[in-house]
């Protein structure tokens, strides 16, 4: 065994010991486990992690590892009922795994490992957490943590100081995500998320959950305003649209949110906050000029990749250069998760996702959706124009897991309501004793 292989083996052994100890500690309290996972997800940059495998080709971000360990500590769950979302996720997982046998193995394996590392851990945490603690408690925790994220993002914009980029690591992920982006000569807020879009879209996901939490109305309103302002300071059009949609959809279609008067106050407050920062946003986009329009045109050009998708499996358009970089025909990055899914897992996976999103839209506009479903629907523009990068991918799948848990709980409650009359009738029959029997017992 060579020196580097021995080093990696020792690191793997130590990492396993630490993971087991963390698992045992987190099992003592579900609330502690979920809290640690959400905090790690929001404040540990993606470039903090370890390379595992004997070739060092399996990178595990520390935040995703903590989320995965916390999710496993919640097992066994008392909720074993599968929801429709669970079935969709299982089917998509099967398509991703099948891509290993339907295309370039090394390329397909990279996407499978990405799904396991970033997506599955978030989904499991979201799916299992409501079985251990009330769903509204999870909403409240996410609201508090992401309000802290938003406050730090605002401070970052005002001072130009990002404490997370000071955590320098000599790996490719730091080289990719460490530098702070600019737009129109203005630094864009990124927090620990490594990219302004990842931060902004994650905040947009958290806004509906804050609205659905059990905090007093004034507190929820302040949280939403702070997160909305921080989203604007990312200067990401996609994130701003997602945040605005999430607020509008909640105010229009969320049942039992608040009185008409309270909704008007929320709309007015959000409008004032938006108008206050709008001149700055317009100025930045005007100064950005061709940079902003060029990124939009690049996304339009990606549509050409649809013709290269297989029904199932990784497209032949995906290739790895001798230097190790991935190319998709002549494109090196895919700024659309829907297109990236189709080019790596097949067009069938895209169809399944689109149908699921369409059903979610129907639930929202019919007033049958909860806040987690609204959060996902508000992300549809992002899914069409942004890839699931850094922690944004895990946050999105965390919300999908919460939605699956909510669907399962509502189905169980509906089933219990249907069975309640039959159970009551059965109990009545058991307690009923005919008159003849009572006379004979005297």
The whole-angstrom separation of Cα 170 and Cα 363 is 46
What pLDDT sits at residue 245? 92
**Contact indicator for 63, 391 with CB cutoff of 8 Å:** yes
The whole-angstrom separation of Cα 34 and Cα 70 is 6
The whole-angstrom separation of Cα 67 and Cα 377 is 24
The whole-angstrom separation of Cα 70 and Cα 23 is 7
The whole-angstrom separation of Cα 247 and Cα 270 is 9
Output the pTM of the full model: 0.88
Contacts 24+ apart (CB under 8 A), 257-260: 257/211, 258/217
* Residue range 346-384, pLDDT digits in tens: 899 999 999 999 999 999 999 899 999 999 999 999 999
* Residue range 118-149, pLDDT digits in tens: 899 999 999 999 999 999 999 999 999 999 99
What DSSP string runs through 408-439?
HHHHHHHHHHHHHHHHHHHHHHHH---HHHHH
DSSP 3-state assignment of 139?
A: helix
What pLDDT sits at residue 254? 85
* Residue range 89-127, pLDDT digits in tens: 999 999 988 888 876 677 778 788 888 888 999 999 999
Nearest to 121 by CA among 227, 19, 14: 19
349 contacts: CB under 8 Å, gap ≥ 6: 92, 95, 96, 312, 341, 342
Go through the chain and tell me how many residues it has: 442
Residue 83 per-residue DSSP state: P
Residue-averaged pLDDT of the chain: 85
Mean local confidence (pLDDT), 28-55: 89
The whole-angstrom separation of Cα 303 and Cα 315 is 14
Domain boundaries, the chain: 3-440
* Residue range 282-295, pLDDT digits in tens: 777 766 666 666 67
What pLDDT sits at residue 109? 80
Q: Is the model's pLDDT at 180 over the cut of 80? A: yes
* Angle formed by the axes of helices 390-431 and 62-73, nearest 10°: 10
Q: Is the model's pLDDT at 430 over the cut of 70? A: no
Q: Is the model's pLDDT at 404 over the cut of 80? A: yes
Range in 73-77, 118-122, 183-187, 435-439 with the lowest mean pLDDT: 435-439
**Contact indicator for 133, 204 with CB cutoff of 8 Å:** no
What pLDDT sits at residue 337? 92
Positive or negative torsion for Cα 111, 93, 356, 234: negative
């Amino acid at each position: 065994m060579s020196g580097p292989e021995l080093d990696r083996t020792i690191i793997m052994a130590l990492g396993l010991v630490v993971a087991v100890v963390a698992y045992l500690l987190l099992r003592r309290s579900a609330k502690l486990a979920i809290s640690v996972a959400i905090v790690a997800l929001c404040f540990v940059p993606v470039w903090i992690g370890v390379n595992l495998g004997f070739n060092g080709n399996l990178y595990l971000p520390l935040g995703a590892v903590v989320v995965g360990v916390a999710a496993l500590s919640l097992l066994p769950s008392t909720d074993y009922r599968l929801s429709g979302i669970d079935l969709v996720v299982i089917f998509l997982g099967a398509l991703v795994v099948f891509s290993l046998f339907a295309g370039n193995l090394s390329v397909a394996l990279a996407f499978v490992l990405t799904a396991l590392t970033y997506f599955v851990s978030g989904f499991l945490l979201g799916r299992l957490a409501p079985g251990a603690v009330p769903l509204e408690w999870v909403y409240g925790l996410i609201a508090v943590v992401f309000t802290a994220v938003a406050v730090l993002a605002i401070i970052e914009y005002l001072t130009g100081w990002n404490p997370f980029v000071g955590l320098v690591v000599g790996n490719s992920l730091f080289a990719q995500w460490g530098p702070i982006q600019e737009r129109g000569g203005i630094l864009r807020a990124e927090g620990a998320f490594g990219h302004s879009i990842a931060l902004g879209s994650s905040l947009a996901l958290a806004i509906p959950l804050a609205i659905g939490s059990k905090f007093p109305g004034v507190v929820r309103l302040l949280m939403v305003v702070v997160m909305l302002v921080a989203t604007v300071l990312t200067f990401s059009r996609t994130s701003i649209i997602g945040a605005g949609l999430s607020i509008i959809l909640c105010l229009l279609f969320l049942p039992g949110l608040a009185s008409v008067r309270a909704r008007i106050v929320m709309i007015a407050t959000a409008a004032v906050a938006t108008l206050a920062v709008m001149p700055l946003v317009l100025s930045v986009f005007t100064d950005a000029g061709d940079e902003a329009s060029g990124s939009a045109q690049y996304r339009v050009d990606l549509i050409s990749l649809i013709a290269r998708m297989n029904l199932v499996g990784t497209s032949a358009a995906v290739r790895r250069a001798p230097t190790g970089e991935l190319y998709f025909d002549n494109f090196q990055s895919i700024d659309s998760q829907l297109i990236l899914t189709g080019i790596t897992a097949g067009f069938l996976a895209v169809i399944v996702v689109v149908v699921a999103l369409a059903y979610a839209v129907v639930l929202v506009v019919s007033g049958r959706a909860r806040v987690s479903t609204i959060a996902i629907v508000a992300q549809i523009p992002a899914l069409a124009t942004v890839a699931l990068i850094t922690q944004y991918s895990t946050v999105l799948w965390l919300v999908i897991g919460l939605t699956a848990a909510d669907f399962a709980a509502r189905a169980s409650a509906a089933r219990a309501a249907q069975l309640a009359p039959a159970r009551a009738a059965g109990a009545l029959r058991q307690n009923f004793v005919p008159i003849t029997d009572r006379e004979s017992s005297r």
